[in-house]
Amino acid sequence: MSTSTPAQPVEDAAADLLEAALAEADGTAPVEAAVRRRTFAVISHPDAGKSTLTEALALHGGAIGQAGIVQGKGGRRGVVSDWLDMEKARGISITSAALQFVYRDHVVNLLDTPGHADFSEDTYRVLTAVDSAVMLVDAAKGMERQTMKLFDVCKLRGLPVLTVINKWDRPGLEALELMDEIAEKTGMTPTPVLWPVGIGGDFRGLLDLRDDSYIAFEAGSGGATRTVWTRMGLDEGLARDGDVLATAVEEAELITSSNGRHDEESFRAGRTSPVVFAAAVLNRGVEQLLDILVETAPPPGDRPTVDGAVRHVGDPFSGQVFKVQAGMDSNHRDHVAFIRVSSGRFHRGQGVVNARNGKVVGTKYAHRVFGGTRTGVEDAWPGDVVAIVNASGVRVGDTLFEGRSVTYPPIPTFAPEHFAVCRAADLAKYKQFQRGITELHHEGVVQTLRSDMRGEPSPVLAAVGPMQFDVVSHRMAGEFNCPVQLEPLGYQIARRTTSEHIPALSRVPGVEVLTSLDGDHFALFPDRWRLQRIERDHPEIVLDALAADSLG
């Protein structure tokens, strides 16, 4: 029998441990460092508990001393990954966050993602920067629409997916019913690794199918601190929890006889998904989930380039910018580019080249960002996320490299469905207005479209969901001291076109053609009927769907 002991992690000690782990030994090769890395994202439908799970994982990794949950419910403080004012006020994640800590001699790079559908594009960008994903499923709601959309992205990118059935501390669907739903809706075979003991709302412990042992949770433990648990054999467990454990054993035998047990090769190939049951708000099952992640999730590997070649992990430094964020430091107008290191060794101060324009990007101000805080970074390795402050001219999707030139595939643009004209409330602040709108565009907060007809002072903002407009209004007023006025437009669909077809499209009633700040031309349509009519009557006109349109 083995028993866990409630740890007393201290942030300063965790930071020292992380520095030591990231330093690596002298002469360490990038391939050796990559083997110790695990870089994954947590994805789910809104309110499934992503930020709470992220906080719980950081707690068990020793990165924080006490866990919080959204809006500080139950006397607990807010999560560290939600640091924007809007996130704290609304209790939702609206921007991704990168957390890094050391666990069992592995460096864990954990990327939290926005849950709300309006911020799906930020989540999609994060999925280009990870090697696997944790798909969080609400035990009471099962596989929801947004979860399925994100799963489809993982499938297209070939990312292995580990499934966590969360909120088992509350009444919900039956465990076997959830297994059937996962198989039916994803096409993957769910292979349970940690099976719940006790029905939803009566979470006694976990049956570990790796060694057929019983992990029993101590009553009253967990929450803001680590859960106390005891591992024991089945005979001892049956003496303790009798019929409840016996039922769990029967269910587990039933599902494993049908689906099989966890197989590493099938998991990494995307044919199966290991399944873990947990209650993130109580920290139950979280430590065991972290063990499974470091044992089974793939380390960083070689990455395909835009020309069909491969950049090997051991090649000179390269990385891709998957996120740009301004205003992280309220005292300065900083501009932070988040880079996933793909190959080689990154070291602060090295000059790296931006493949898009051939310009050298300075890396003197390299940081590791933990929620809203940051510390300096001297070195980073494949799988790590580095934040470069004031990286001039760097945009989402850019490839940075050293040595032999390389360009990674572009990050797909999400199809906007909401459009609004944006104007400065005070015309005397036009310079602030122009600078702010341009910066938010390059961050990927919204897409900015212009035309000669509307003029420079009246750009059209294009968004996946209307809440993105709330972010624009909030940040323009708070960061750029330039409140804006938004006028919704009646368009619902955007298609990419070419300059030669702009005249013909402009003559169609109800259709408008605008140009993005990146130089792409977009035709906006009020409804699908109008689009289909033009496609039928004018097949020669180029009307390309955006890359993410096919994802629903």
Annotated binding site for GTP: 112-116
β-bridge mates for residue 199, sequence order? none
β-bridge mates for residue 52, sequence order? none
Say how far apart CA 202 and CA 346 lie, in whole Å: 48
Take residue 406 and report the two structure tokens written for it: 């390389």
Non-local CB neighbours of 389 within 8 Å, separated by 6+ positions: 334, 335, 336, 365, 366, 367
Pairing verdict, β 360-361 and 399-401: unpaired
Pairing verdict, β 161-166 and 132-138: parallel
CA angle (95, 123, 156) in 5-degree steps: 175
Comparing CA positions, the residue from 98, 65, 64, 101 lying closest to residue 83 is 98
Say how far apart CA 251 and CA 253 lie, in whole Å: 5
Q: Hey, CA dihedral for 422, 425, 428, 434, is it positive or negative? A: negative
User: Which class for 84: exposed (0-12), middle (13-18), buried (19 or more C-beta within 10 A)?
Assistant: buried
Query: Strands across the sheet with 447-450, in order?
Result: 484-488, 418-424, 460-463, 447-450, 512-516, 521-525, 493-497
Take residue 360 and report the two structure tokens written for it: 């050298």
- Is residue 165 a contact partner of residue 143, using CB atoms and an 8 Å limit? no
How many other β-carbons are positioned within 10 Å of the β-carbon of residue 104? Answer: 11
Take residue 116 and report the two structure tokens written for it: 């709300």
Helix, strand, coil share (%) of the chain residues, nearest 5: 30, 30, 40
Take residue 25 and report the two structure tokens written for it: 């030994």
User: Which class for 20: exposed (0-12), middle (13-18), buried (19 or more C-beta within 10 A)?
Assistant: exposed
Say how far apart CA 34 and CA 448 lie, in whole Å: 38
Say how far apart CA 437 and CA 452 lie, in whole Å: 17
Say how far apart CA 374 and CA 479 lie, in whole Å: 19
- Please name the amino acid found at residue 191: T
Say how far apart CA 89 and CA 136 lie, in whole Å: 23
Say how far apart CA 534 and CA 540 lie, in whole Å: 10
State the binding site: 112-116
Non-local CB neighbours of 12 within 8 Å, separated by 6+ positions: none
The SS3 of residue 226 is coil
- Please name the amino acid found at residue 372: G
β-bridge mates for residue 164, sequence order? 136, 276
- Is residue 4 a contact partner of residue 226, using CB atoms and an 8 Å limit? yes
